[in-house]
Amino acid sequence: MNAFVVNRRARWQYLLMLAPSVLLLAAFFLLPLADMFLRSFEHFVPFGNPPPGFTLENYAKFVGDSFYRLTLGRTLLLGATVAIISLIVGFPMAYAIVRVRPGLRAFLTVIILVPLMTSVIIRSYGWMILLGEGGPLASLLAVFGLPRPRLMYTFWGTVIALVQVMMPFMVLTLAAAIQQISPTLEDASRNLGAGRLRMFIDVILPLSLPGVAAGTVLVFALSISAFATPVLIGGASVKVVATVVYEQALTVINWPFASATSFLLMSVTLCLALIQAKLVAWGARWNQ
Amino acid sequence: MEPVSRLLRSVGRWFDSHGASFCFSLFIALVCVFLLAPIAVVIIAAFNPARYVTFPPQGFTFGWFVEIAKNSDILDAAWLSLRIAVITAVIATVSGTLASLVLTRSRMPGVDILKLLLLSPLLVPGVVFGIALLIFFNQYGMIGSVSAILTAHICLTLPYVVRTVTAGLESIDRSIEDSARSLGASPATVLLTVTLPSIRSSMFAGAIFAFLVSFDEAIVTLFLAGVQGVTLPVFIFQYVQYNSDPLVAAVACIMVLVTSAAVVTVIRKVRVI
Amino acid sequence: MSVEMRSRQPPVALELDNLFKAYGDVRVVHGISLQIRQGEFISLLGPSGCGKSTTLRMIAGFERPNSGRILVEGKDVTEVPVHKRNLGMVFQNYGLFPHMTVDDNVAYGLKRRGVPAAERRDRVADALRMVRLPDMGKRYPKQLSGGQQQRVALARALVIRPSLLLLDEPLSSLDAKLRVEMREEIRELQRQANVTTVFVTHDQDEALSVSDRIVVMRAGYIEQMDSPEAVYSRPATCFVADFMGEANIVEGVPSIDGGQTHLVHKSGVRLPMAEMEAQSGASATIGIRPEAIRIGHLADDSQGIQAIVEDITYRGAFSMVRCRVSPSLELRAIRMNTSETVEPFAVGDTVRLAWPANAARAI
């Protein structure tokens, strides 16, 4: 039902309303990305002007060099690990948010949202303190006579910090999926003889599967693109693809190569976003 | 043996009826602690007088906050962050709301593609957008300029505004607009007097989201910061890699306060789950 | 009752002993006590908010009563968790698992009880045959109609051979005709399986047609628990009288003269009523069903109360006729719309209303 337009004259009114945002995005979002894509086919010369021409050397460099392949592998492993752990930890939280009484639900929602709304820099800094030598974790373990953990600048330290950063995304996606499961189904299975754990396995898990998949894909995509947390927590020993882009862009100033790496990263996340959208649609049909 | 097995059985029975939910609640509580831990730690560290960050804290002081007031770098960064966040929020909300109105109320072809375009910044990793803008703005010598950072932030926050406002527009009752039309109001009047007031809270929420996203933004801004364009998150990022004193914790503490206040304001108006 | 008669009565299948339930400050169920015998079909009937669903959910175990006991076949199950109570339940939305086939849905309870696969298959097939859906086993719930889903839900509840069958307004999402068909099927199935049944509904038609006894509830209390016939024609309270179909409820002072008891309304009109033990002067309330009142022409009956027809509402098989007896008293009567009606009357006519004295009972 159309509230404004009744004639063709107003068509340009719509275009006018769209102009600011669309032009802005076209000029400062699409255009630079397209430009970057083109740049990835340029030659690179450390000093002076590069020769003109089209080349695939940047892509070849990324795929060919074992260092970059290793980085890619590490990034993917990091993403998968974070996704799986967030799933395991986040699922009960998502279930709790959907099924508890409204007062408690508001409280839990705030706890989920506050980290989301805090800069990732601050959260990562917090983890630097937590996981560090003087941090509360080390002090707590020292009380029990356990050795200080070496988590800073390690893979697993980065995983722990990233899980906390990504968890709200996982919980919100899962909660949306669980909410579609009618509580009557839970009652029915309990009535027929299933204890709570059994009910969880028989009813909640299968019916929330699309949401589980969507959340996992989302967190995976976000984790492989992560920059601040791996740099601050992982440091030089946990280099990820995003770190490579940053270094190549601002330190080495090899922009063609940085562009190529970026483009590869973006392609992967775009594919994942497509898959995730399909999963969400599947989930809506599944629970009719 | 009898009393022992009876004890075991009653423990099992307790677990069946209460124990399972007790363990579940305990787990949820631990997850909540996990989610808030880094933020809590930063706030606590901000009041620790020690030069290094230690736990448990060695006292309580407002000293670091006093230091902030004397540190021109931090004050400049804070002022820059605030200015950018406010202007971003205003521009993003206005242009985003206009776009949302077209998305939900017109019958133009290609509305789906339009929506995809408006939400696309969410799909692109921060580093990718960062380097693309670095190359782009470098051509015009605009690295470190406020306008470059502003432009980037507006692009980044538009999707949040569009999502929030379209949700609000889709949820209001269409029949109030229809009845306004039938009572003789022109389309423009309907827009101004009926539609916009109905989505007041969505627009406000969108503005707050835009403010927060801009205020917290670090990754893209890092690429564009140069020397003069250091916002608060960029400052913290650079400082933290080379210093270990809690000055930065105090800065972060203030940022957390600002964002928490904004979140609490928004929660009251918008249903998330 | 003699000893032999008492021993021939079936045992008590369900007993509720003084159940209380409150949510915070809101009292939902007040001291409900009742006993149901093996094989009986009981309806919990009442308006929404009367506590009938809450009571059912307490029997099933989804809610815990604040105080009171629930005994199934003599055993106290108040503290027993839901999944151990062995009660079959059919929910308002059926609660069929969308990701399982009909076979798997019906087999679910048997699987939980560790019934071996071969026996499961047989019992599931029997159950589906009993509800007349023998070939639907491989289908998914969303491929079935509402009535078919209803029957699968019944099969699933009955196949486990439960101590009780609980039905929570199972027919409310069906259309009118299907509702009538299904309630008869449910009753038939229940007789075949001889399972004690508690049926929650807000539709008094439904309750009247299928129940052995009806429990009329209001605001958490039991107003009356009796056979359908008793609840309808001998209502214990005004609420029951008014809830079970239309009723004329009149207050006045009974007076007895010459073997005939009358209720004297405040406007002076004397209404014939059934005998009752009355203290002279104390006021009483009587109820008269509209179908008991005969409408006759002014000239025909010398007996009968004079009234003016105010409104005739056509209701298909009959019409509801509203008559004004006095400025403060109106009575509603029913006229059947068959071709052999007495001479028709119209709005504004004066008529005579008459009824057998026993049809006007004190409440």
Q: How many residues does chain A have?
A: 288
> What is the mean predicted confidence (pLDDT) over A183-205?
91
Nearest to C112 among A193, A287, A288 (CB): A193
The tally of domains found in chain A comes to 1
Q: Give B132's contacts in chain A (Cβ within 8 Å).
A: 32-33, 35-36, 259, 262
Distance from the C212 Cα atom to the nearest Cα atom in chain A, whole angstroms: 25
Contacts of C102 (CB under 8 A, 6+ apart): C128, C133, C136, C137, C138, C139, C140, C141, C144, C152
How would you classify the pairing of strands C41-45 and C196-201? parallel
Task: Tell me the helix, strand and coil percentages in chain A, rounded to 5.
Answer: 80, 0, 20
- Is there a domain that residue A282 lies in? yes
CA C123 centroid distance within chain: 32
Q: Say how far apart CA A258 and CA C353 lie, in whole Å.
A: 99
Interface-testing mutation among A39, A89, A129, with chain B (most B C-beta atoms within 10 A): A129
C334 pLDDT higher than 60: yes
Contact A184 C83 (CB under 8 A): no
Sign of CA dihedral A82, A85, A91, A94: negative
Q: Is B12 on the interface with C (CB under 8 A)?
A: no
Q: What is the pLDDT of residues A56-112, one digit of tens each?
A: 888 888 888 889 999 999 999 999 999 999 999 999 999 999 998 888 888 898 889
For chain A, positions 45-84, list CB contacts with chain B under 8 A: none
Q: What is the pLDDT of residues A257-277, one digit of tens each?
A: 999 999 999 999 999 999 988
Give the position of tokens 């200015």: B83
> What is the mean predicted confidence (pLDDT) over C268-274?
84
> What is the mean predicted confidence (pLDDT) over C6-12?
76
SS3 assignment, position C79: coil
Q: Residue A132's pLDDT is what?
A: 80
Residue of A nearest to C111 (CA): A193
C301 pLDDT higher than 60: no
Contacts of B99 (CB under 8 A, 6+ apart): A17, A18, A20, A21, A22, B114, B118, B158, B162
Please give the mean pLDDT across all residues of chain B. 86
Q: What is the pLDDT of residues A28-50, one digit of tens each?
A: 999 999 999 988 888 887 777 77
Query: What is the CB neighbour count within 10 angstroms for residue C259?
Result: 6
Choose from A166-175, B4-13, C172-181 the range with maximum mean pLDDT.
A166-175
Contact C79 B17 (CB under 8 A): yes
Task: Tell me the helix, strand and coil percentages in chain C, rounded to 5.
Answer: 30, 35, 35
Q: Say how far apart CA B232 and CA B248 lie, in whole Å.
A: 10
Contacts of C227 (CB under 8 A, 6+ apart): C212, C213, C214
What percent of chain A stands above pLDDT 70? 96
Q: Which residues in C89-121 are b (16+ Cβ under 10 Å) and which e?
A: bbbebbbbbbbbbbbbbbbbbbbbeebeeeebe
Q: Say how far apart CA B201 and CA B48 lie, in whole Å.
A: 40
Cα–Cα distance list, C162 to A184, A213, C60, C195 (Å): 19, 38, 12, 8
Q: What is the pLDDT of residues B34-93, one digit of tens each?
A: 999 999 888 888 888 777 766 677 778 888 888 888 888 889 999 999 999 999 999 999
- Is there a domain that residue B55 lies in? no
**Angle, nearest 10°, between helix axes B247-267 and A102-117?**
140
Contacts of B74 (CB under 8 A, 6+ apart): B68, B232, B235, B251
Residue A237 structural domain: 57-120+151-287
Q: What's the start-to-end Cα distance of chain A, in Å? A: 27
Confidence of residue A20 (pLDDT cuts 50, 70, 90): very high
Q: Say how far apart CA A61 and CA A252 lie, in whole Å.
A: 15
- Is there a domain that residue A133 lies in? no
Q: Say how far apart CA B118 and CA B114 lie, in whole Å.
A: 6
Distance from the A178 Cα atom to the nearest Cα atom in chain C, whole angstroms: 14
Q: What is the pLDDT of residues C80-116, one digit of tens each?
A: 889 899 999 999 988 899 999 999 999 999 999 999 9
- Is there a domain that residue A49 lies in? no
Residue B160 structural domain: 72-272
What percent of chain C stands above pLDDT 90? 44
Q: What is the pLDDT of residues A126-147, one digit of tens each?
A: 998 888 876 777 777 777 777 7
Q: Say how far apart CA C351 and CA C305 lie, in whole Å.
A: 8
B271 pLDDT higher than 90: no
Q: Residue A1's pLDDT is what?
A: 42
Confidence of residue C360 (pLDDT cuts 50, 70, 90): confident
- Is there a domain that residue A281 lies in? yes
CATH number, domain containing residue B101: 1.10.3720.10
C4 pLDDT higher than 60: no
Residue of A nearest to C93 (CA): A184
For chain A, positions 119-138, list CB contacts with chain B under 8 A: 119-130, 132, 134-136, 138
Q: Residue C3's pLDDT is what?
A: 55
What percent of chain C stands above pLDDT 70? 94
Q: Say how far apart CA B164 and CA B203 lie, in whole Å.
A: 7
Name the maximum alpha-carbon separation found in chain A: 79
- Is there a domain that residue B143 lies in? yes
Contacts of C88 (CB under 8 A, 6+ apart): A191, C109, C156, C157, C158, C160, C162, C164, C165, C166, C195
- Is there a domain that residue B62 lies in? no
Q: What does the angle CA C2 – CA C3 – CA C7 come to, to the nearest 5 degrees?
A: 120
Q: Residue C5's pLDDT is what?
A: 53
Please give the mean pLDDT across all residues of chain C. 87
Q: Say how far apart CA C234 and CA A138 lie, in whole Å.
A: 79
ipTM of the complex: 0.86
B273 pLDDT higher than 50: no
Asked whether the whole model's pTM tops 0.90, one would answer no
Give the position of tokens 């030089």: A236
- Is there a domain that residue B53 lies in? no
- Is there a domain that residue B195 lies in? yes
- Is there a domain that residue A126 lies in? no
Q: Say how far apart CA B16 and CA A53 lie, in whole Å.
A: 72
Q: Residue C127's pLDDT is what?
A: 93
* Burial of B58: CB neighbours in 10 Å, binned 0-12, 13-18, 19+: exposed
How would you classify the pairing of strands C361-362 and C284-288? antiparallel
Q: What is the pLDDT of residues B198-247, one digit of tens each?
A: 888 889 989 999 999 999 999 999 999 888 889 999 999 998 888 877 88
B270 pLDDT higher than 70: no
Structure token pair of residue B238: 């650079």
Q: Residue C330 forms beta bridges with which residues?
A: C324
Contacts of C180 (CB under 8 A, 6+ apart): none
Residue of C nearest to B18 (CA): C81
Confidence of residue B7 (pLDDT cuts 50, 70, 90): confident
Q: Residue C175's pLDDT is what?
A: 87
CATH number, domain containing residue A257: 1.10.3720.10
Cα–Cα distance list, C270 to A26, C292, C306, C319 (Å): 89, 17, 11, 26
- Is there a domain that residue B14 lies in? no
Query: What is the CB neighbour count within 10 angstroms for residue B270?
Result: 16
Q: Residue B15's pLDDT is what?
A: 63
- Is there a domain that residue B29 lies in? no
Sign of CA dihedral B246, B247, B252, B253: positive
Q: Say how far apart CA C318 and CA C245 lie, in whole Å.
A: 14
Which candidate, A173, A161, A95, places its Cα nearest to that of A132? A161
The tally of domains found in chain B comes to 1
Q: Residue B242's pLDDT is what?
A: 83
- Is there a domain that residue B103 lies in? yes
Task: Tell me the helix, strand and coil percentages in chain B, rounded to 5.
Answer: 80, 0, 20
Q: Say how far apart CA A63 and CA A69 lie, in whole Å.
A: 6
Residue of B nearest to A180 (CA): B273
Cα–Cα distance list, C264 to B268, C255, C273, C281 (Å): 61, 7, 10, 10
Please give the mean pLDDT across all residues of chain A. 87
Q: Residue C339's pLDDT is what?
A: 67
Nearest to A114 among B154, B216, B263 (CB): B263
Q: Residue A113's pLDDT is what?
A: 86
Interface-testing mutation among C77, C82, C111, with chain A (most A C-beta atoms within 10 A): C82
